[in-house]
Structure 1
Amino acid sequence: MEPIIGSWEANMDHALTRSPIDVCSSRGEDAVVLGNLGVVRVLKVNAGQDVQVREGDLCLLMPFGRLDRFEYAELAYAYDCPGTIGLLAERTKLDVRLLLRLPDDTAYSLTQWAAYGRYFTAWDNWQKAYGCWRTQVADDDPANHLVFGWGGGVAFAELMLAKRAGFRVAMAAGSDERVAFLRENGITPVDRRRFPDLSLPTRRERTDRDRHQRRRTSVADFLNVVKNLSDGYGVAIFVDNIGEPLYDVTLSALAREGVVATCGWKAGMRLSHLRGAESIARHIHVNTHVWRLPDSPGIRDFMEAEGWIAPEGSDVVYDFDRVPELADDYANGRIGSYFPMYRVNPL
């Protein structure tokens, strides 16, 4: 097959920085071709007649390397799964079971579909988080409750599902472009720049008393915003795909019987909390990764039927020879879009 448009993901940044793991070392390989989410064109099928794709089909790549017994991903394709070849190549080959055809006569563009990885991941995380919340809050109206997120495209997609379910929704954003984008899509934007010292002090700053005082001020100001948005109760479901620098703030903002929903770890995997406090507050911690392979067709069909997909024009696309620039821009926070893409071959 030949890749058409690939989606730049956090896992690619993690691979380049060799953190939290060195994928080359983990796979026992000298070099790895990254890129596990994107739209591809099938060039040749070396399989029997019962396969679901044909030559010329446009398909989505499902990023499953090794599955567990319930068909969830244990190892990710073109990341930590040995022997897998990603989309940062003009031609490649893969197992046909990982291809999911685009809907016939789809109403959406290829760049809109290329953001599907964020949406499929959000779907799975939201289903688990909402289900857990309902085990403790069985019949109250979601309109009385706030879902908050910080992160990127996955958090955005998840909040759009929360909005469909009737929740109040709000999300932090750090640029004029993203603040406007959230507002246009019916999500209350909370300007991250209002709280400049919200993150944990770095190792070098830990002895700086003034830095700690500034953080206390930023945290108090942020929690006051959450209080106003939630009628004083706190966040019912907090989508936190950032991690360590903001984790204590996430827990402080959480309502009783609240849920922390995590499916990413952009800025820190190692977390700690007071187990007793979390138990007394009846907080549920939901951690998911990718989604279940057999669920893929249903998620695709929901996206097509309901228009739950990256808004038209919300992406930014880099040509193939600019991928190093894309990687640098992503790593340094210079991309305003939640959906950065790279184009490999012309349509």
Structure 2
Amino acid sequence: MAGPHSGGPGGALRRDRFAFGPLDAGEALVEPVLGSWEANMDHALTRSPIDVCSSRGEDAVVLGNLGVVRVLEVNAGSGGAEVGEGDLCLLMPFGKLDRFGYAELAYAYDAPGTIGLLAKRSKLDARLLLPLPAGTAYSLSQWATYGRYFTAWDNWRKAYGCWRTQIADDDPANHLVFGWGGGVAFAELMLAKRAGFRVAMAAGSDERVAFLREHGITPVDRRRYPGLSQPPRRERADRDRHRQRRKSVGEFLDLVRELSDGHGAAIIVDNIGEPLYDVTLSALAREGVVTTCGWKAGMRLTHLRGAESISRHIHVHTHVWRLQDSPVIRDFMEAEGWIAPEGSDTAYDFDRVPDLADDYATGRIGSYFPTYRVNPL
């Protein structure tokens, strides 16, 4: 992405030559094979919540911080490289780490000097490359969606752990976990299902409703509740709009009560944000947990601290995962088959990445796992 633009997110992308210097010690030259389109790329293109070019002090940024790459060359320097020529690896999106191994700045987003995967070749710190399992049972298309699963693994562990601090010994089968969002929420609900919870998730298309049902998640057809989202401020005084929202919210909460034996959801994965936040809190059970690791439609949230305290609600916020946990998550995915279902991705050729950006932003992609092809395998 570079410079000002007009139109949709795809208009912020410019095809150009991008030069970088020789490999420094510890760096690898890689050839991206298959990249995953993430919400952070949409945020970068719309320059919200931050303008990453200005934040990084750079005129142009090469996006793409999650995907499968082929290693072409490694400058090991004085250290022993853990990857070698020809290895297929996953890129870990860590630009700057805190002292515990969590990301402060994201690679190919707000971390200066980082080069993403929307390029025919790129160079990066070899320590960020995690090799695919030897003889993996899964396809590159399935592995390319790993970012949603790695994020979900970390967020779910924190949310479930918090819930258990208050509900120490009750059977999860008595409790509902609900999800707003996309691929990350889906992955978390699959973990919740494994843990024995009832699971339900909102979806807004026939394709997604069928996908959730196929994988044992109760689909909640978002189209049945057309006024559910908080309207823009300019429409909040509109009586008809207010009436429609009140009706949609009431019917949605009735459904949540039905699915949870009248108690509300024990855990709600809310990666949407502001437009649905008040509904999320209303749908939450006492001693419930609202957990988020994304902010697709709004970062600024408000709530009544007294009401949340009295209801003993716990709010969990996480970002990415811990770098040193990466091999553990990869191995869990391989061993347990907790990975994007075969054929569930939608892949765009490299020349059509601007179309992918626009289709993602306007909700025209039915899959939870949009990807883009860069180089042939």
The TM-score, its normalising length taken from structure 1, stands at 0.99
1:183 and 2:204 aligned? no
Q: How many Å separate the matches in 1 of 2:249 and 2:314?
A: 22
Instruction: Describe how 1:180-219 pairs up with structure 2 within 5 A.
Output: 180-219=210-249
- Map 1:219-258 to 2 at 5 A: 219-258=249-288
Deviation at 1:204?
2.5
Aligned mates of 2:351, 2:35 — CA distance in 1: 13
Q: Which residue of 1 aligns with 2:16?
A: none
Equivalent residue runs for 1:77-88 within 5 Å: 77-88=107-118
1:63-78 to 2 correspondence within 5 Å?
A: 63-78=93-108
User: Does structure 1 residue 43 correspond to structure 2 residue 41?
Assistant: no
Counterpart pick for 1:11 among 21, 36, 40:
40
- The runs of at least 4 aligned residues of structure 1 exceeding 6 Å deviation read none
Sequence identity (%): 85
Counterpart of 2:19 in structure 1 is none
Return the letter of the residue paired with 1:316.
T
- Aligned partner letter, 1:39: V
Q: 2:162: which partner in 1?
A: 132
Q: 1:158 aligns with which of 188, 203, 206?
A: 188
1:162-204 deviations in whole A, cap 9, x for unaligned?
A: 0000000000000000000000000000000000000001122
Which amino acid counterpart does residue 344 of structure 2 have in structure 1? S
Residue 326 (1) aligns with residue 327 (2): no
Show the 5 A alignment for 1:87-166.
Answer: 87-166=117-196
Q: 2:58 maps to what in 1?
A: 29
| Equivalent residue for 2:312, pick from 263, 268, 282 | 282
1:207 deviates by 1.8
Looking at structure 2, the residues matched to 320 and 121 of structure 1 have their Cα atoms a distance apart, in angstroms, of: 25
Q: Which runs of 5+ in 2 are unaligned?
A: 1-29
1:133 Cα offset (Å): 0.2
- Matched residue pairs, number? 347
Deviation at 1:286, TM superposition (A): 0.2
Shift, 1:206, TM fit? 1.6
Would you say 1:169 and 2:199 are equivalent positions? yes
| Amino acid paired to 1:17 | T
CA RMSD of aligned residues (A): 0.6
User: Aligned-pair distance for 1:17?
Assistant: 0.2
Partner SS, residue 45 of structure 1? strand
- Could you tell me which runs of 5 or more consecutive residues in structure 1 were left unpaired when the two chains were aligned: none
Match of 2:91 among 53, 61, 64: 61
CA distance in 1, matches of 2:281, 2:252: 13
Q: Aligned partners of 2:229 and 2:170: how far apart in 1?
A: 33
- 3-state SS of the aligned residue for 1:285? strand
Q: Does 1:302 align with 2:327?
A: no
Select which of 333, 341, 345 maps to 2:371.
Answer: 341
Any idea what SS the aligned residue of 1:44 has? strand
1:261-272 counterparts in 2 under 5 A? 261-272=291-302
Length-normalised TM-score, structure 2: 0.92
Q: Which amino acid aligns with 1:182?
A: L
Whole-angstrom CA distance in 1 between matches of 2:358 and 2:53: 20
Q: SS at the partner of 1:345?
A: coil
**In 2: Cα distance, 1:189 partner to 1:221 partner:** 15
Amino acid in the other structure paired with 2:102: Y
- 3-state SS of paired residue (1:42): strand
Q: CA deviation at 1:330?
A: 0.2
1:173 aligned partner, one-letter code? A
